[in-house]
């Protein structure tokens, strides 16, 4: 049950919701250090799938860019797209970063980044981040 909660927390933390999965992972690792592998898999999988939901959101949200309620101006969309194209696919390795990670995954969807390279690069970055946290905790 606790792995499912970690998975859910990591999933939601990867969306636009202001949550922190690192604290949950750290607390669970301290409580049961023998389960670090399972914790790593649950957190990485949940967080990667949360970013995949951002990709889907970006992929289909763009259809509504002419609506009044759309959250970004055409100029902001163009800047975001230009920045993503400038740094390229490899920038998805940084999808775990606070503040820029969630918009990065949404923009990748808006620009129709192929899903397989997207998910592989995002998973590598997010898993490396969680592995580093667990390693630093000893």
- C-alpha 32: how far from chain center: 25
pLDDT of residue 93: 97
49-64, pLDDT tens digit by residue?
A: 999 999 999 999 888 8
pLDDT value at 71 more than 80: no
Residues 4, 19 contacting (CB under 8 angstroms):
no
pLDDT of residue 43: 98
Please state the rounded mean pLDDT for residues 106-127: 96
| Cβ-proximal residues to 129 (8 Å cutoff; 6+ apart), any chain | 96
Instruction: Write down the pTM of the prediction.
Output: 0.90
Would you tell me how many other CB atoms lie within 10 Å of the CB of residue 46?
24
pLDDT of residue 53: 96
| Cβ-proximal residues to 106 (8 Å cutoff; 6+ apart), any chain | 54, 55, 57, 58, 61
| Cβ-proximal residues to 25 (8 Å cutoff; 6+ apart), any chain | 6, 10, 39, 43, 130, 133, 134
Tell me the domain boundaries of the chain. 2-136
| Cβ-proximal residues to 128 (8 Å cutoff; 6+ apart), any chain | 96
């Amino acid at each position: 049950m606790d792995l499912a909660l970690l998975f859910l927390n990591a999933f939601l933390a990867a969306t636009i919701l202001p949550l922190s999965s690192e604290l949950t992972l750290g607390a669970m690792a301290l409580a049961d250090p023998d389960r670090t592998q399972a914790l790593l898999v649950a957190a990485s999988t949940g967080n990667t799938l949360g970013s995949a939901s951002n990709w889907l959101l970006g992929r289909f949200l763009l259809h509504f860019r002419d609506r009044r309620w759309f959250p970004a101006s055409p100029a902001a969309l163009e800047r975001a797209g230009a920045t993503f194209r400038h740094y390229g696919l490899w920038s998805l390795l940084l999808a775990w970063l606070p503040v820029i990670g969630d918009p990065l995954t949404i923009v990748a969807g808006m620009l129709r980044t192929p899903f397989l390279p997207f998910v592989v690069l995002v998973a590598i970055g997010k898993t490396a981040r969680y592995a580093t946290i667990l390693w630093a905790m000893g």
